[in-house]
């Protein structure tokens, strides 16, 4: 511990700095809390003694600046103490335990949450960055103040980037735009986000920043007269109805102008031609009254009205947005909100502390808690830090759609979300058992993107499971994480089940009718000890195709073989019945599309499990030549309820309506069309390649017979590899 904390003051102590901060804190903190902050300052100054910033200033100036940023937000004294101490664990010999002893458990936890993992060795810089971000975000789930301290720390670092080497400052700026600005936006802290973006823009694109800043300055002078006139006209109209309002001109920040120019491919003049105003009222009722009055004053643009008061954004933002056509035909963007909404729009979750004394209610606080809840779920279901951060990034850019549940509740989803995303937003169990969806009371594909205002109803089935193909179209991190987690778990369970079946049937072929149950515990343990794995791992390896069941069976029955290929004399080749619903560790080869009724054979593929082929498949014939010990004799179970894909080629004459007739005949055969592609051979003939779903060979034969009898169809073939 550093002795005499309050007396041992380093030569670098800036007494004026802490005195000025203390004076500002007097407006909302108690004297004993301010004293605690001063104590932390003296402690940090002593701990950082001899350390300097890149600009030559004593290091203590940085924690003090971070504390001042939090003071502007009216943060509590523990957050400000943590801000002053946030670098002592990382950069000095002070431990978390010492901070806990001197300043309490909460402060120590906040400081530790912001501290980087410097003692751990990482394989790459990207991995280290991801793990530190993961640590910080998970600390935030315990206490939201961790992220506020870190955001303030990053803001001061961004303000002082000019002293760093260009490469390093660019890397920090990119990380800020990639992670910290979106986090500030997600927490509703608009002022912070804007400063991050403009500072980052200046570092990454200095020339573009200078040019746009210069153009904005010139445009501001040219627009001044018209802006003033529009503002005064709006004010007079509202005040004539005895409304207490503030009308302020709203200017786009530089990064926003640059992003819109780039995204919408518009010139600077097109972006700057839009005049923005904000109307601040005293109540929600006044917001809607003001909206009616300005729509009466200027003509509104159809389809440009958005009501974020009734349906707030995911970060708690509330306001009415409308676009009008003003004098001289110029577009005017108007935002209408109350004073409380204005405070929330600018400060987000920080408004909870800034307006706490006035009984301020902050919807950003509850929205942030919901987001944090989803982060905890993402953390539980992800493996590596890189994967976790990638999913968090997806969650940080939510251009939103607003949809309704059948009971009328509103759900906010990311732009492009599908019915599957909706299902997982409702509950992970609903997502896992989802089979279909009704959008506005009509059945719709699960993959179709949802539109704002739609009512979505999810149809579930008890035995249903997520489809791996869903990963191709879901956009929300919650859906993606849950699908992957389920499939990983399911793969393990399926591999265990398949591995046990394969081993049992191999043992049965060697005269052990009860399979592994017939083996002695000693025999089993000896082989497992030799292999260095557990019984579950053995089953899983066999099910995944990484070990051969016949070879393991031979070892278990006393044959002293090294793992490799089976002896030619082995009678351990097995015949196994399959139902087609064994799970993700059993798949049907696309090259030959086997269906019940076909003669089939299986091939154990490493990491994929059992792949089923028709026995006359050319690919399978090659596998038999190359790896006879990995091939299994298979047969179909008597009870199969699922449908199987079959590829057909249909040769037909070019006639009007022939496709419709073809589809009708397939439907009447109780088969379903998955896909259909038409190729013209010449002016008279076409070839259709289609994939249909059938239950077995009998149904396929019936369907093909119907097609052959159609007028204009010359030939129908089942396609082979």
> Which alpha helices (H) appear in 412-476, and where do they start and end?
419-426, 428-432
Kindly state whether residues 479 and 491 are assigned to the same domain.
no
Kindly state whether residues 559 and 549 are assigned to the same domain.
yes
Of 593, 608, 636, the residue that ends a domain is: 636
Strand pairing report for 575-578 and 631-636: parallel
Is residue 254 a part of any domain in this protein? Answer: yes
Q: What is the pLDDT of residue 625?
A: 62
Strand pairing report for 306-307 and 299-300: unpaired
- CA dist 85 and 82 (Å) reads 5
Is residue 663 a part of any domain in this protein? Answer: yes
H or E element, residue 247: strand 246-250
Question: φ and ψ at 593, to 5 degrees?
Answer: 45, 65
- CA dist 689 and 669 (Å) reads 18
Low-confidence residues of the chain: pLDDT under 70: 1-14, 116-129, 222, 272-273, 352-369, 372-373, 376-399, 559-575, 581-584, 607, 623-626, 628-629, 721
> Could you tell me the two tokens for 320?
């009415």
For residue 103, the enclosing domain spans 15-159
Kindly state whether residues 272 and 299 are assigned to the same domain.
yes
> Could you tell me the two tokens for 329?
């035909």
- The residues annotated as belonging to the active site are 90-91
- CA dist 117 and 127 (Å) reads 11
Domains contained in the chain, number: 5
- CA dist 318 and 334 (Å) reads 13
> For the segment 326-368, what is each residue's pLDDT rounded down to a tens digit?
777 778 899 999 988 888 888 877 776 665 544 455 566 666 6
Contact 458, 422 (CB under 8 A): yes
Kindly state whether residues 709 and 625 are assigned to the same domain.
no
Is residue 466 a part of any domain in this protein? Answer: yes
Kindly state whether residues 331 and 231 are assigned to the same domain.
yes
Kindly state whether residues 273 and 347 are assigned to the same domain.
yes
Kindly state whether residues 425 and 531 are assigned to the same domain.
no
Specify the DSSP class assigned to residue 558.
T
Q: Three-state SS for 77?
A: helix
Is residue 42 a part of any domain in this protein? Answer: yes
Kindly state whether residues 400 and 442 are assigned to the same domain.
yes
Strand pairing report for 685-694 and 644-653: antiparallel
Is residue 174 a part of any domain in this protein? Answer: no
* b (16+ CB within 10 A) / e for 467-489: eeebeebbbbbbbbbbbbbbbee
Q: Three-state SS for 251?
A: coil
Q: What is the pLDDT of residue 395?
A: 61
Kindly state whether residues 280 and 413 are assigned to the same domain.
no
Kindly state whether residues 605 and 661 are assigned to the same domain.
no
Kindly state whether residues 491 and 629 are assigned to the same domain.
yes
Kindly state whether residues 490 and 479 are assigned to the same domain.
no
Q: What is the pLDDT of residue 4?
A: 39
Of 636, 662, 679, the residue that ends a domain is: 636
Of 424, 451, 483, the residue that ends a domain is: 483
CATH number for 447: 3.10.20.30
């Amino acid at each position: 511990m550093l002795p005499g904390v309050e007396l041992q003051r380093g030569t670098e102590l800036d007494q004026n700095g802490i005195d000025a901060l203390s004076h500002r804190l007097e407006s909302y903190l108690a004297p004993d809390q301010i004293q605690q902050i001063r104590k932390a300052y003296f402690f940090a100054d002593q701990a950082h003694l001899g350390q300097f910033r890149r600009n030559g200033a004593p290091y203590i100036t940085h924690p003090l600046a971070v504390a001042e940023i939090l003071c502007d937000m009216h943060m509590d004294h523990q957050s400000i103490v943590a801000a002053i101490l946030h670098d002592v664990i990382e950069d000095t010999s002070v431990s978390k335990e010492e901070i806990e002893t001197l300043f309490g458990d909460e402060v120590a936890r906040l400081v530790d949450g912001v501290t980087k993992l410097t003692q751990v060795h990482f394989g790459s810089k990207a991995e280290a960055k991801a793990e530190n971000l993961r640590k910080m975000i998970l600390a935030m789930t315990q206490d939201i103040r961790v992220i506020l301290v870190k955001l303030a720390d990053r803001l001061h670092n961004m303000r002082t980037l000019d002293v760093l080497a260009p490469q390093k400052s660019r890397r920090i700026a990119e990380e800020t735009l990639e992670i910290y600005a979106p986090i500030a936006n997600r927490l509703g802290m608009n002022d912070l986000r804007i400063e991050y973006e403009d500072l980052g823009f200046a570092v990454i694109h200095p020339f573009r920043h200078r040019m746009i800043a210069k153009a904005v300055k010139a445009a501001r002078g040219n627009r001044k007269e018209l802006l003033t006139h529009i503002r005064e006209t709006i004010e007079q109209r509202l005040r004539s109805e005895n409304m207490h309002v503030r009308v302020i001109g709203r200017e786009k920040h530089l990064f926003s102008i640059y992003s819109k120019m780039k995204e919408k491919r518009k010139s600077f003049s097109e972006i700057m031609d839009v005049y923005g105003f904000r109307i601040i009222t005293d109540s929600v009722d006044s917001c809607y009254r003001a909206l009616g009055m300005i729509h009466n004053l200027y003509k509104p643009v159809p389809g440009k009205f958005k009501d974020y008061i009734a349906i707030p954004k995911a970060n708690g933002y509330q306001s009415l947005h409308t676009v009008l056509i003003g004098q001289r035909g110029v577009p005017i963007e108007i935002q209408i909100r109350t004073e409380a909404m204005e405070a929330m729009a600018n400060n987000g979750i920080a408004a909870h502390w800034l307006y706490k004394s006035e009984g301020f209610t902050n919807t950003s606080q509850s929205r942030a808690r919901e987001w944090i809840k989803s982060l905890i779920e993402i953390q539980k279901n992800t493996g590596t830090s890189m994967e976790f951060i990638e999913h968090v990034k997806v969650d940080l850019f939510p251009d939103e759609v607003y949809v309704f549940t059948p009971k009328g509740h509103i759900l906010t989803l990311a732009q492009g979300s599908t019915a599957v995303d909706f299902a997982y937003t409702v509950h992970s169990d609903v997502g896992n058992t989802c089979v279909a969806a009704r959008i506005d009371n009509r059945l719709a594909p699960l993959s179709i993107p949802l539109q704002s205002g739609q009512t979505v109803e999810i149809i579930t089935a008890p035995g249903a499971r997520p489809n791996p193909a869903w990963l191709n179209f879901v956009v929300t991190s919650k859906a993606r994480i849950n699908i992957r987690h389920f499939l990983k778990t399911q793969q393990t369970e399926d591999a265990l089940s398949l591995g046990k079946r394969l081993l049992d049937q191999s043992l049965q072929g060697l005269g052990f009718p009860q399979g592994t149950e017939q083996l002695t515990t000693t025999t089993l343990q000896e082989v497992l000890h030799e292999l260095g794995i557990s019984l579950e791992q053995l089953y899983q390896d066999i099910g995944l195709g990484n070990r051969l069941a016949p070879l393991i069976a031979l070892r278990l029955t006393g044959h002293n073989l090294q793992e490799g290929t089976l002896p030619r004399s082995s009678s351990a080749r097995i015949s196994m019945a399959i139902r087609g619903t064994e799970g993700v560790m059993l798949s049907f080869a696309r090259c030959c599309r086997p269906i019940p009724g076909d003669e089939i054979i299986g091939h154990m593929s490493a990491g994929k499990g059992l792949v089923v082929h028709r026995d006359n498949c050319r690919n399978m014939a090659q596998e038999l030549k190359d790896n006879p010990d990995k091939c299994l004799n298979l047969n179909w179970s008597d009870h199969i309820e699922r449908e199987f894909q079959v590829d057909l080629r249909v040769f037909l004459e070019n006639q009007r309506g022939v496709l419709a007739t073809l589809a009708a005949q397939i439907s009447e055969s109780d088969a379903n069309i998955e896909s259909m592609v038409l190729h013209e051979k010449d002016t008279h003939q076409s070839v259709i390649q289609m994939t249909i779903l059938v239950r077995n060979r009998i149904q396929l034969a019936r369907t093909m017979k119907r097609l052959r009898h159609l007028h204009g169809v010359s030939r129908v073939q089942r396609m082979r590899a």
